[in-house]
Chain A
């Protein structure tokens, strides 16, 4: 597709359940990023993938959060045992290797009840 695609667009879950969020980056973009945005705030970095290199996980807030990416394709962000404070919009972005202009998806709005 032409842009970064994220699914689902909205997710409502119960506290304690696991959720999986998906991101399809722009074709040819080697770098992929996950960010979290709480209501009315800026974006917080979560994790960064660059090609086949080890990911930078320095932004993950707890061990309940994990992410995977196979090569330069789809990535999934998994949140285990969700808590109410996990409620936020989760945004994915991709970029080329040589230029750090990031292209964002529309995000997944996660609501934990």
Chain B
């Protein structure tokens, strides 16, 4: 079963604008990751944030984690048409290694 939900389900923006996606989850976690999926096939890891971290940056990506609210956000700055994809958050907890995925946000960046 899926751990939580992401919102919005779909987001359409102009190239150069910032895109913000949110993820909520239900149980305590070890780590939260964000993945990108193009064309409904393989996923690519973007960034990992540990439960004791609050914010992390990687290039144009900024991730925040609020464990008290069980939520995370992914900010993509200065978006490009190539950022068009589905974005998923995924969590792992306890001793389990498998990831529990959210339902995803479909991002469309218009040129």
Interfacial residues, chain A to chain B (CB-CB below 8 A): 4, 31, 33, 35, 37, 39, 41-45, 48, 50, 56, 59, 89, 91, 93, 95, 100-107
Contacts and interface: CB of A to CB of B under 8 A. Distances in A.
Interface of B: 1-2, 30-31, 33, 35, 40-45, 48, 88, 90, 92, 96-104
Contacts of A101: 33, 45, 48
Contacts of A50: 97
Nearest to B92: A100
Contacts of B96: 56
Given A100-B31, A101-B48, A43 B99 contact: yes
11 contacts: A39-B40, A41-B104, A42-B88, A43-B101, A44-B1, A44-B2, A91-B42, A95-B97, A101-B33, A102-B45, A103-B45
B71 to A, nearest CB: 16
B97 A59 contact: no
B43 A104 contact: yes
A103 B46 CA distance: 11
Nearest to A49: B97
A44 B101 CA distance: 7
Contact of A106 (B35, B42, B99): B42
A91 B41 CA distance: 8
Given A102-B45, A104-B43, A42 B97 contact: no
A41 B31 contact: no
Contacts of B104: 41-42
B87 to A, nearest CB: 11
B99 A45 contact: yes
A44 B96 CA distance: 14
A113 B65 CA distance: 43
B61 to A, nearest CB: 15
B42 A105 contact: yes
A100 B45 CA distance: 11
